[in-house]
Amino acid sequence: MHPIFSEFRRLAMYLVVWLFIGLLLAYLLTVSHDISPRDALVLALPLCLFYSFLCLSAWYSCRGRLPDKFTMGRLLATHITTGFFAAIIWTFAAAGLAHGLSKTTMFAGLSQRFRPEIPLIFCTGILLYLLSVAFYYIVISFEASRDAEARVMKASVLARDAELKALKAQVNPHFLFNSLNSISALTSSDPAKAREMCILLGDFLRRTLGLGEKAAIPLDEELSLIRAFLAVEKVRFGARIQMEEDIDQDALSVPVPPLLLQPLVENAVVHGIANLVEGGYIRLGIHTRDGIVSIDVANSFDPDAPAKRRSGVGLANVRQRLQTRYGNLASFAVKTEGDCFRVALTLPAEVEVQPA
């Protein structure tokens, strides 16, 4: 499709521009010789209307000869040649029009008076054609850059999707190896407990499977996942973990991104409980008010604990995923008060989970 015809607005703009060119040409015709403004207008306007359509053909010639595929010399040669022929057609049309008009009484003798203007018409013809060529090259490069921009945007969206997938599907290998070690310990001392731990671990892993595919799960499901995780960790840490929950029932059906809270609870264990000889608490509070869900994960920790390795990754991950899904509608804050570490987040209570 020719770009000028793709939208009515463009065609109108195009004709308006050529109207101005026609007025300009009429003025040029009146300057030097004895053509009256009325005669000039009657000649120039129809001529420019005709030429505006002739110059549309420059588009096809430009599209077929992109600057990156041809040398400058060849491009110039092609377009100047084409322009030359277009200008000849235009000049003949002009002469024909003047000849035709001079047959009427109103414009008698116009053909004679017009003759000295023929070189002017011819040169303007070439220039206007080359101007059209330049215009179409600008259009082409503009569209190419817009395409490129769209492609870059699309690529970044795809990359973010891929990143999210990678972020979702993470079960900490540390957790897995330590749990296996606990099972190894229990097999000789307490085989029944070892079996129980295998089942708990299996239960947790099964729940995490396939979560990466889902955009959201009900909060209830995320809580089951957390409880399964803590059940495993309680075998390792024994009485060192105290879990306290305070959860509004009407929050349970709210959809949330999968594995949104589990990393926070895992952090509480790895960076909190694991560094406390006597253990500590994890408090999970979930409350809804005015369509907003507030989630609060607090845990005790040792402010003088050994330097943490790999810290902050889980938190950054959660923050980023909240931001991606909810934008400004969600908030995320981390606070340290004495020996209490607290992550507070809010998100909009969306009504329904889309079927997976």
Interface ranges with another protein (CB under 8 A): 173-174, 177-178, 180-186, 188-189, 235-238, 274-277, 302, 304-307, 309
In angstroms, what is the minimal distance from the CB of 349 to another protein?
Answer: 38
Helices (H), 239-305: 262-267
Residue number with CB closer to another protein (302 or 350): 302
Judge contact between 33 and 113, C-beta under 8 A: yes
Residue number with CB closer to another protein (105 or 189): 189
103 vs 350: CA distance, rounded Å: 80
Residue number with CB closer to another protein (30 or 178): 178
Residue number with CB closer to another protein (192 or 356): 192
Residue number with CB closer to another protein (290 or 304): 304
Judge contact between 293 and 249, C-beta under 8 A: no
86 vs 57: CA distance, rounded Å: 10
Residue number with CB closer to another protein (161 or 190): 190
In angstroms, what is the minimal distance from the CB of 225 to another protein?
Answer: 21
Kindly write down the DSSP assignment for every residue of 162-219, as one continuous string: HHHHHHHT---HHHHHHHHHHHHHHHHH-HHHHHHHHHHHHHHHHHHTTGGG-S-EEH
CA 347 to each of CA 70, 99, 175: distance values in angstroms, whole numbers, following the listed order: 57, 79, 28
Residue number with CB closer to another protein (48 or 235): 235
237 vs 265: CA distance, rounded Å: 14
What count of other Cβ atoms lies within 10 Å of the Cβ of residue 71? 9
In angstroms, what is the minimal distance from the CB of 186 to another protein?
Answer: 7
In angstroms, what is the minimal distance from the CB of 296 to another protein?
Answer: 25
In angstroms, what is the minimal distance from the CB of 71 to another protein?
Answer: 51
- 142: tokens are 């503009």
- Contacts of residue 100, defined as CB under 8 A and 6 or more positions apart, other chains included, come to none
Residue number with CB closer to another protein (119 or 306): 306
In angstroms, what is the minimal distance from the CB of 65 to another protein?
Answer: 53
Backbone angles phi, psi at 330, to 5 degrees: -110, 155
H/E segment holding residue 334: strand 331-337
In angstroms, what is the minimal distance from the CB of 209 to another protein?
Answer: 21
Residue number with CB closer to another protein (26 or 186): 186
Kindly write down the DSSP assignment for every residue of 289-333, as one continuous string: ETTEEEEEEEEE--TTPPPPSSTTHHHHHHHHHHHHHHGGG-EEE
In angstroms, what is the minimal distance from the CB of 272 to another protein?
Answer: 10
In angstroms, what is the minimal distance from the CB of 238 to another protein?
Answer: 7
Report the C-alpha dihedral over residues 220, 224, 229, 234, rounded to 10 degrees.
Answer: 120
